[in-house]
Amino acid sequence: MIYLITGCAGFIGFHLSNNLLKNKKNKVYGIDSLNNYYPTKIKRERLRILKKKKNFFFKKIDLTDKKKIGIFFSKINLDYIFHFAGQPGVLYSFKNPKSYKSNNIIATKNLLNVIHKNKIRKFIFASSSSVYGDQKIYPIRETFKVRPINYYASTKIVCEKLIRRSFANCKNKFIIFRFFTVYGPYGRPDMFIHKLLNNVKIKKTIKLHNYGKNLRDYTYIDDVVKILKYYIKLKHLKQNIFNICRSQPIETNKLIKKIQKSLKRDIKFKLIPKVKGEMYITHGSNKRIFKRFKLRFTSIDKGIEQTIKTYNLKGF
């Protein structure tokens, strides 16, 4: 099989690429702009690992560049496309909304404009639990009305609409996965767990929004990859939007205690009020996923242990 993964140097893109490359019959084409939203050191380390495999082919491309992606797609034939590239981060979307419009909406438009020339089997898009906003009933099902409370989430909704419209009269299939707080080794340094580990390393106090009472549906990266690999091969699906979540949210204060236990050291933190644009609870339903695929999710304790183990070895 021949795969394309946009955002291959990103957290989820890296782990999926690395897993697919274990099968020497697979070819994985990875593209990434390597932007500096967070330090490129970790992105380059992920790429270094991927480039060890002979069946991995990397091209540095910015998806906002129509000409470059047009040339790139004219030279390859693909079976599956994973569109994981984009501008992440909730709070940063208030500071730099232009980046989200360019790297999420315009980039997705450009990609959709060229892929229909390729007879792909499936197009898979990485959306986010942020599209749901704050709800009154939990766990959140895929049928719930989206209620974005930040610009990042709004751009993800626009991208979802663009994809549905683009594939409406097309034989090619698509799947939209809404990820709930994915974590694990080589994670993003702007996400809470790695941000906390970095602060512990430099002996800096970490701020706990909403007095540490936020609930997050943490989902371990290895579980995410297993689900992705299973669902892309299915030929017939009644639905094409799926939550990927463990469906067992944990309060930040309790998560801190688990990390302290695993680190065997105290963590300096400061309790602050809720921050604008941040969701109070992420708690998804995974019943739609489980109709086809039964998975024993990684426990939060084991996930934290593996994340810290890699962090201690690599420093990120």
Task: For tokens 């040339």, name the residue.
Answer: 71
Q: Is the pLDDT of residue 200 over 70?
A: yes
Q: How confident is the model at residue 313 (pLDDT cuts 50, 70, 90)?
A: low
Cα 140 from Cα 143, distance rounded (Å):
8
Whether the pLDDT of residue 119 is over 80: the answer is: no
Report, as an integer, the average pLDDT of 165-186. 92
For residue 249, what pLDDT band results from cuts at 50, 70 and 90? very high
Helix axes 300-314, 252-263, angle to 10 degrees: 50
Beta bridge partners, 242, equal 177
* Range 222-251 average pLDDT: 93
The arithmetic mean of pLDDT across residues 287-302, rounded, is 93
Residue 178, strand partner residues: 127, 243
Give the mean pLDDT of the chain.
Answer: 93
Q: Which of 27-31, 54-58, 70-74, 145-149 has the lowest mean pLDDT?
A: 70-74
Decide which of 148 and 234 is more confident: 148
Given 38, 92, 151, 152, the catalytic residue: 152
Supply the pTM of this predicted model: 0.95
pLDDT at residue 292, rounded to an integer: 86
Asked if residue 273 has a cis previous peptide bond (ω within 30° of 0), the answer is no
The predicted structure's pLDDT at residue 176: 97
**Token output for 255:** 């998560």
Q: In the chain, what percentage of residues exceed pLDDT 90? A: 76
Rounded Cα distance between 61 and 33, Å, is: 5
Q: Is 280 among the catalytic positions? A: no
* CATH code that applies to domain 2-185+218-246+283-297: 3.40.50.720
pLDDT digits (tens, 9 = 90+) for 85-112: 999 988 888 888 999 999 999 999 999 9
Question: Using CA atoms, how far apart are residues 25 and 1, in angstroms rounded to an integer?
Answer: 7
- Beta-carbon contacts of 190 under 8 Å, excluding residues fewer than 6 positions away, are 37, 38, 88, 89, 92
By residue count, the chain amounts to 316
